[in-house]
Amino acid sequence: MYIKLLTLTTNAGKVHFPLKISAAILTAAVGSTLLFCMIVWHLLRGRRMVLRGESESCIEEDPIVRRQISELHSLQFDLQTIEVATNNFSNDKKLGEGGFGPVYKGTLPSGQEIAAKRLSRSSGQGVEEFKTEVELVAKLQHRNLVRLLGFSMERDETILVYEYVPNGSLDNLLFDPELSGRLDWSTRYKVMVGVARGLLYLHEDSRLRIIHRDLKASNILLDVDMNPKISDFGMARIFSANQTEASTNRIVGTYGYMSPEYLMFGHFSVKSDVFSYGVLMLEIITGKKNSQFLALDCDGGLLGHVWKHWTSRSPSEVVDPALSNAYSVNEVIRCMHIGLLCVQDDTEDRPTMDSVVLMLNSESISIPMPQRPSFFFPNKKYKPAPCVLNLDQSTGKADQSSSKITPPWSPTDTGASLSSKT
């Protein structure tokens, strides 16, 4: 092919450009045009991603999420199979309802029982939470984590399929006066140990470092042997190997379980989960919800109430009456002690989950003294009134604790001298 030389007419006449120079000019022009097109494309794509984030609850408008999830072929369920298993999501199959949506019991053709979580259109959770739960739980395997069997995304339905856990969630038993008796002390202790091991796996032992961010009684499921299984990973966040904390402007979780640094500043870490675990421990011991405890007219909430009785050497006064005195006083005191360590204000003062597991499983290890928790939620509807603590029989006055406490017993004291029920 013959290419003519590019010529340019000037006052001095014609100037001939060599072929190489002409090619260089042409290449530069084409490159600039392509670069401009790429910049425009990226800007438009970024705007589409922003718009998608603003409407992430609309799954059918999020092809990227669909493509990522579709790669997990082995976990996909046919929607018709789930509909048949749950009798078309009939009310008599409904197990309950959470932030994600209603949960239904079902039976697959193989006879395996399942729990199907169906995304509600009015749910505060959406595509990101759904994707997080699928991606995380599919990679996690631990006896104290609920097992994800699969998912379905068809005909505008978004469903997560889990193993069926027959004894339901912990809160349904723990906070029901008629059912709490099923949770004897040995079962409650097993639940606390199992949840601690599950969190330790998430924080340290799995392939990923995961912060759950929504640990609470309703997210603890109990299997046929009352073994606990942590569930609901829609709010979870993955940390890199060297990452220890992160911040967010979007606070998610449940009031009463969120740590002060997370609720007030958006900072979260493994120690945020430790705080939630401490609240859960105190709820298991007392049988009372942290969020509803203030109705007892006791200023300071559950954390303050437990602290006051622990420092006044009357811990048995806060133990759930449903236990009917059938519990180990030493174990109750130890668990109360560990729970108070976990809910301390300063993240540095809270133990790690491996330390918690060690303290729960060893009676000889020395446990440090906790600091007084100050992150209370006083109930403004009620006139602040001190809780009646250890009544001095000689004076008839209640022993009021101060902010500067002399520890009522040493960390190695098992509490044999405490005034407690036996």
Cα distances from 124 to residues 7, 128, 161, 181, 365, in angstroms, run 68, 11, 19, 34, 44
DSSP characters over 204-269: IISSSEEE-S---GGGEEE-TT--EEE---TT-EEE-TT--EEE-SS--S-TTTS-HHHHHH-EEE
Cα separation, 341 vs 337, in Å, equals 6
User: What is the chain's percent helix, strand, coil content, to nearest 5?
Assistant: 40, 15, 45
The alpha carbon of 92 is separated from its chain's Cα centroid by a whole number of angstroms, namely: 29
Residue 116, strand partner residues: 104, 161
Helix (H, G, I), strand (E, B) or coil at 326: coil
| Tokens representing residue 272 in the block | 């945020």
Exposure class string for 280-294: b at 16+ Cβ within 10 A, else e: bbbbbbbbbbbbebb
Q: Which amino acid is at 340?
A: L
Map tokens 């640094």 to a residue: 261
A 10 A CB-CB count for 71 gives 9
- Report the catalytic residues: 214
Q: Is 100 exposed, middle or buried (0-12, 13-18, 19+ CB in 10 A)?
A: buried
Helix (H) or strand (E) holding 20: helix 19-54
DSSP characters over 161-209: EEE--TT-BHHHHHT-TTTGGGS-HHHHHHHHHHHHHHHHIIIIISSSE
| Tokens representing residue 403 in the block | 């902010």
Q: Which of 327, 357, 6 is nearest to 192 (CA)?
A: 357
94 dihedral zone (left: phi>0; alpha: psi -120 to 50; beta): beta
CA dihedral 151, 153, 157, 163 (to 10 degrees): -10
Q: Which of 167, 172, 180 is nearest to 319 (CA)?
A: 180
